[in-house]
């Protein structure tokens, strides 16, 4: 029985709300450190908005729509640290009212950004922030600037007839994925909080509504440039480009070829990001150009997934019937999307210069991916023998349907434990590969203990598996029990290590969360609204 239900029974009170709206369970906070007295409250956040200076062609100014009796689903203290917000603020009514849209935030200038983009290979001119609002930026004590964005804040002029809300289910999924990828050391937007709304919205069926409070280094997308390019606003393409260089690549402001360098930097960051995705088995699911940022940050989580058994052509998006955004296609799609970003820049950079830059994408990606796989295998000599080893490894993972994540944790212990393949199902082939791997490991000069330490620091024991997400969603949607969401967030803050004292405190069964995905959840697909 959820804690909230136990409290109601003990108090002898009836639930004052329908079953789908009853109060949430108590909030679990874990920061790993004592509260920093230098942190601030909601009233004293240092807001500004540089984007608004671009002018009304770039956005619609709009305040969030008020919401009914907002309640906290989950709050990330580690994300709060980015904006110097005290963790205890997350459970306050003031936080819920201000970030839920019922009260203004001092200094915030909310706006819906204009953009378009290519979706599944086809250009869609009618996009923009239909349900999102950029409140502004907060400058922290380190002088870092962070966008604060509400997803589900009500309809804007870009809403295309939709209600402008986000579902509780999709908000929870993005919240968990954001914090999970951050724990893995992958550039990502962060999720400060999920705020529940006591109203129903309609998708394929009635659904609970929510607001996701998102933190990002920027919300400027490839599609932001496409919008002005395809509407014949070349001057605004240039203005946006200068804005991006000044605020996100300030070290190149004085360079005569800064536009070309901007594209190069964006390409480098994109290639490195996708290489990191590939290394941990993360599949974004919707790599449209409006979901790609100019700083190489994982952005707009929808039907994402982590690889279970290694299936290269898997896509977690049930709408992606042709596998455009499958795991094996992500690098190629990154290249395709960068070509679409290049098109608005042709007149400013020159076609020859852009062609010169884009030719470097595949070698860049290959290098980044090779380096990531070297770390995962505990190997530093990345020669032709290493390349052959990796190629054979991926084939074996596929042939023997091995769990991608747990294979590398097993490998760190090998030869201390037996290999995971069935001896009657290609075991000899895998054993041969393992012997070859140990030969390459020995030439590195590391002891088994040193190699294991290195590998365990980059190969997660815990990932956001389908059945874990579903368990959290079932409890949240059916029982209004948010403890499993909080438990997953805490677990995935550091997915590489067991933390017995933390696990005991929050009731985390380390072996349960590390086990292979059950058969019934393998290959699971979801929709963009899920």
Catalytic residue from among 74, 129, 217, 290: 290
Best CA proximity match to 459, nearest among 506, 401, 414, 501: 414
Structural tokens at position 113: 């950004």
Q: Check the CA dihedral 315-321-325-326 and report its sign.
A: positive
CA-based nearest residue to 97, from 43, 36, 58, 50: 43
Helix, strand, coil percent content, the chain, rounded in steps of 5: 45, 15, 40
399 is catalytic: no
Contacts of 467 (CB under 8 A, 6+ apart): 517, 518, 520, 521
Burial category of 528 from C-beta neighbours within 10 Å (exposed 0-12, middle 13-18, buried 19 and up):
middle
d(CA 34, CA 381): 42
Residue 53: name the closest of 129, 136, 125 by CA.
Answer: 136
Q: Which letter, b or e, does each residue of 476-494 get, where b requires 16 or more Cβ atoms within 10 Å of its Cβ?
A: bbebbbbbbbbbbbbbbbb
Q: Are 290 and 315 in contact (CB under 8 A)?
A: no
End-to-end CA distance of the chain: 26
- Distance between CA atoms of 299 and 307, rounded to whole angstroms? 19
Closest CA to 289 of 224, 384, 206, 205: 224
Q: d(Cα 505, Cα 518) in Å, to the nearest integer?
A: 26
| Catalytic positions, written as ranges | 290
């Amino acid at each position: 029985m959820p804690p909230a239900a136990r409290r109601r029974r003990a108090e002898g009170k009836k639930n004052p709300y329908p079953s789908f709206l009853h109060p949430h369970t108590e909030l679990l906070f874990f920061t790993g450190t004592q509260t920093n007295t230098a942190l601030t409250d909601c009233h004293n956040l240092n807001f500004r908005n540089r984007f608004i200076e671009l002018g009304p062609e770039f956005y619609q100014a709009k305040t969030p729509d008020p919401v009914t009796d907002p309640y906290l689903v989950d709050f990330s203290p580690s994300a709060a640290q980015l904006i110097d917000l005290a963790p205890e603020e997350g459970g306050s009514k003031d936080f819920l009212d201000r970030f839920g849209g019922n009260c203004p935030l001092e200094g915030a200038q909310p706006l819906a950004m204009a953009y378009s983009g290519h979706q599944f290979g086809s250009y869609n001119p009618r996009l923009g922030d239909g349900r999102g609002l950029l409140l502004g930026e907060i400058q922290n004590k380190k002088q870092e600037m962070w966008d604060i964005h509400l997803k589900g804040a009500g309809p804007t002029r870009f809403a295309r007839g939709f209600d402008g809300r986000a579902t509780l289910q999709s908000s929870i999924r993005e919240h968990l994925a954001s914090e999970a990828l951050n724990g893995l050391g992958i550039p990502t937007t962060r999720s400060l909080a999920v705020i529940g709304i006591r109203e129903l919205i309609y998708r394929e069926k009635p659904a609970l509504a929510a607001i996701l409070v998102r933190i990002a280094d920027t919300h400027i997308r490839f599609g932001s440039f496409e919008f002005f390019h395809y509407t014949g606003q070349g001057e605004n393409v240039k203005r946006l480009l200068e804005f991006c260089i000044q605020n996100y690549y300030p070290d190149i402001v004085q360079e005569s070829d800064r536009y070309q360098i901007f594209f190069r930097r964006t390409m480098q960051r994109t290639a490195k990001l996708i290489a990191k995705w590939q290394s941990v088995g993360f599949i974004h699911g919707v790599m449209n150009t409006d979901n790609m940022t100019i700083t190489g940050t994982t952005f707009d989580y929808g039907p994402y997934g982590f690889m279970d058994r290694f299936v290269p052509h898997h896509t977690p998006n049930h709408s992606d019937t042709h596998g455009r955004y499958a795991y094996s296609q992500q690098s190629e799609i990154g290249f395709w999307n960068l070509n679409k970003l290049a098109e608005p820049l042709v007149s400013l950079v020159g076609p020859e210069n852009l062609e010169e830059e884009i030719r470097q994408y595949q070698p860049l990606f290959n290098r980044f991916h090779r380096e990531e796989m070297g770390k995962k295998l505990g190997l530093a000599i990345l020669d032709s023998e290493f390349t052959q080893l990796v190629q054979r490894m991926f084939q074996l993972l596929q042939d023997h349907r091995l769990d991608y994540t747990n294979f590398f944790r097993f490998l760190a212990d090998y030869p201390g434990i037996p290999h995971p393949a069935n001896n009657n199902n290609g075991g000899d082939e895998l054993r041969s590969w393992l012997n070859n791997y140990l030969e390459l490991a020995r030439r590195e000069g590391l002891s088994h203990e040193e190699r294991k330490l290195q590998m365990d620091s980059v190969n997660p024991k815990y990932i956001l598996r389908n059945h874990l997400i579903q368990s959290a969603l079932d409890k949240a949607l059916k029982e209004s029990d948010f403890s499993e969401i909080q438990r997953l967030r805490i677990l995935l803050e550091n997915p590489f290590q067991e933390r017995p004292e933390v696990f005991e405190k929050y009731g985390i069964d380390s072996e349960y969360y590390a086990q292979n995905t059950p058969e019934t959840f393998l290959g699971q697909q979801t929709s963009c609204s899920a």
